[in-house]
Amino acid sequence: MAKGQIRKALSGFYYVYADGETYQTRARGNFRNKNITPLVGDEVEFKFDSLTEGYILAIEPRKNELIRPPVANIDQAVLIISCKEPNFSENLLDRFLVYLEYNKITPILYFTKTDLLDEVGYERIKGYADYFMKIGYHVLLPKFGQSDELVGEISALFHDKVTVFMGQTGAGKSTLINKISPELDLKTGEISQYLGRGKHTTRHVELIPLEGGLVGDTPGFSAIDIPQMELPELSKQFIEINEASDYCKFRECKHVHEPKCEVKARVEAGEIAQERYDNYLQILSELENRKPMYGKNKR
């Protein structure tokens, strides 16, 4: 019996790192019977006959887990935000942030492809970046006309952390990781001119030792599912809305039609961005109209 961490999952095999060695393992059938799937990042107990013959016996409790991408026990996520090709979408950004906040993963916002912007476009993006920085997020925005001078600032954040890179397809995740550590030589793809979307180039999730921590490159996607949550939970995933909620007249205020709502007052005063509030309302409406999922565990 040994203990280790799953660092890669590929074609039904789980590659477990323990004491300086990597073991190729499979999951015992009882996991399937219990509807449990081992994830990259899991701390596990396993036994082995050799480096290529092993079985996972137990999975330690997870502090968090994501299904898209399938990875567990994450400390932080570098959220890659494309400014152009594909174009910047604040709605998509807010959905990623709700996803991460709900799963207790610290977001780091990194804007890519700023070198493709003209001055007007750059100032628009800078306005968004300044706002997210003001409300408390760690934001990395390259200077006008540049695209990668902040690579060193990102890699300095990896130490003793499990970090995943996330973002829409074609946003430049693999390209950025290659700039941080060229020897990784992760496969990169070109943007489809016809669709304006990227081709999926990352086929599996893998945690790679880098700068004193572990980082993962994960498949990109251009849409994201909002987690199943109770309606009052949503406002807690928006930092500035959650802070203002303490001053609303009603404890369970949804910040829609209620009187003496501090959130609406701050939106009107320009202290909370109108776009953020609009995205909150859109997601709230989706949750209200979502059919209940019976048999699902609630937090």
The predicted structure's pLDDT at residue 150: 78
Q: How far is residue 177 from each of residues 78, 166, 185, 187, measured CA to CA in Å?
A: 11, 12, 9, 10
Q: Which residue stretches of the chain have pLDDT < 50?
A: 187-202, 295-299
Question: For the domain bounded by 2-61, which CATH number is listed?
Answer: 2.40.50.140
Please report the pLDDT score of residue 76 as a whole number. Answer: 95
pLDDT for 149 equals: 65
CATH code of the region 231-289: 1.10.40.50
Nearest-5° Cα angle at 218, 104 to 240: 30
Tokens, residue 82: 């494309």
CB contact burial 167-194 (16+ within 10 A = b; e otherwise): bbbbbbbbbbbbebbeeeebebeebeee
- The per-residue pLDDT for 42 is 98
- Domain extent listing, the chain: 2-61, 66-217, 231-289
Question: How do beta strands 76-82 and 106-112 pair?
Answer: parallel
Four-point Cα dihedral 226, 230, 232, 233, nearest 10: -50
C-alpha–C-alpha distance, residues 138 and 109, integer Å: 6
For residues 86 and 197, the answer to whether their CB atoms sit within 8 Å is yes
Dihedral sign for Cα atoms in the order 184, 190, 196, 201: negative
The maximal CA–CA distance of the chain, rounded, in angstroms, is 67
Q: What are the binding residues?
A: 112-115, 167-175, 248, 253, 255, 261
pLDDT at 201: 43
Residue ranges for the known binding site for GTP are 112-115, 167-175
> pLDDT tens digits, residue range 192-216?
343 344 444 445 778 988 889 998 7
Surface-to-core class of residue 220, CB atoms within 10 Å of its CB (0-12 exposed, 13-18 middle, 19+ buried)? buried
The secondary structure of the chain as a DSSP string is -EEEEEEEEETTEEEEEETTEEEEEEE-HHHHHTT----BT-EEEEEEEETTEEEEEEEPPPS-EETTTTEES--EEEEEEESTTTTP-HHHHHHHHHHHHHTT-EEEEEEE-GGG--HHHHHHHHHHHHHHHHTT-EEE-PPTT-SSTTHHHHHTT-TT-EEEEE-STTS-HHHHHHHH-GGG-----PBPTTTS-BPP---S-EEEEETTEEEEE----S--PPPP--HHHHGGGSHHHHHHHTTSSSTT--SSS-TT-HHHHHHHTTSS-HHHHHHHHHHHHHHHHSPP-TTPPP-
pLDDT confidence of residue 103: 92
Q: Which amino acid is at 174?
A: S
Q: What's the predicted TM-score (pTM) here?
A: 0.84
Q: Quick one: pLDDT at residue 184?
A: 61
Q: Domain 66-217, what fold?
A: Rossmann fold (3.40.50)
Residue 54 bridge partners (DSSP): 25, 48
Annotation: binding site for Zn(2+): 248, 253, 255, 261
